[in-house]
Amino acid sequence: MAMKVLVPVKRVVDFNVKVRVKTDGSGVETTGLKMSMNPFDEIAVEEAIRLKEKGLATEIVAVSLGVAACSETLRTALAMGADRGILVETEVELQPLAVAKLLKAVAEREAPRLVILGKQAIDDDMNATGQMLAALLGWPQGTFASRLLIDGDGAVVTREVDGGLETVSLALPAVVTTDLRLNEPRYASLPNIMKARRKPIETLTPAALGVDPTPRLTLVSVAEPPHRQAGRKVGSVAELVEKLRTEAKVI
């Protein structure tokens, strides 16, 4: 059976960039910073490509939601091996519930058998969108996947959970979110980057999908974590023990 895979890819500040909080505490400075595909989403694209290479997936559709520049993130997915892209373009700051509603609308149009998302986006660390999407669609979910097997009409997902691994069996269609150990994403080769330029990207809007993306959460403030104090050298074990007794605090 034809298996279409939908892969949501988010444009985020590159993981190598050290972000700085804006002086007014209203968020993180992003202007002029290098932007990249969220690393967990690269793993999701890679997994979809491997399913296609094994003859299990028939088409890979990458979808990105946000400003027009998200089309660059889609081009990266296309250069890795996705077949086509969908850009849901909006200037509105998108929160996970809005993203999940928009992805639900895209999933209803595209009817994929599998949606593979990252477990979290490294900018806001929400870890919410995949779970919300599964709930809205009424589909089973296998989050934090470190192994994914497609078996006929089902998927077997090994999940990284506290204290070990858990294996769940899901009926398709299903939502899977990736963890770090699932695979090592490939780099796009130059010929594939060139080829990706000719792959189609469709542009939609939240209104066209019938979704109101207005934020529901209010950001109160963003602050840097406190800086660590410099350490001190002690002269003897006795002094160390004394300091541990009198000065050390649990923080």
Residues lying near ligand AMP in the complex (CB under 6 A) are found at 8-10, 38, 40-41, 64-66, 94, 96, 99, 117-118, 120-121, 124, 126-130
Task: Tell me the closest approach of the beta carbon of residue 154 to ligand AMP, in angstroms.
Answer: 22
Tokens read off for 164: 């070990």
Using the minimum distance from each CB to ligand AMP, give the nearer residue, 28 or 238. Answer: 28
Strands 4-8, 114-118: parallel, antiparallel or unpaired by DSSP? Answer: parallel
Task: Tell me the closest approach of the beta carbon of residue 112 to ligand AMP, in angstroms.
Answer: 14
Q: Hey, what amino acid is at 217?
A: L
Nearest residue to ligand AMP by CB is 118
Task: Tell me the closest approach of the beta carbon of residue 93 to ligand AMP, in angstroms.
Answer: 10
| CA 185/CA 36 separation, integer angstroms | 14
* Maximum pairwise Cα distance, the chain: 73
Using the minimum distance from each CB to ligand AMP, give the nearer residue, 127 or 192. Answer: 127
| CA 89/CA 63 separation, integer angstroms | 11
Task: Tell me the closest approach of the beta carbon of residue 164 to ligand AMP, in angstroms.
Answer: 23
Nearest one of 100, 35, 29 to 70, comparing CA atoms = 35
> Where do we find the tokens 């009926």?
171
Q: Strand pairing partners for 24?
A: none
Using the minimum distance from each CB to ligand AMP, give the nearer residue, 16 or 229. Answer: 16
Using the minimum distance from each CB to ligand AMP, give the nearer residue, 189 or 203. Answer: 203
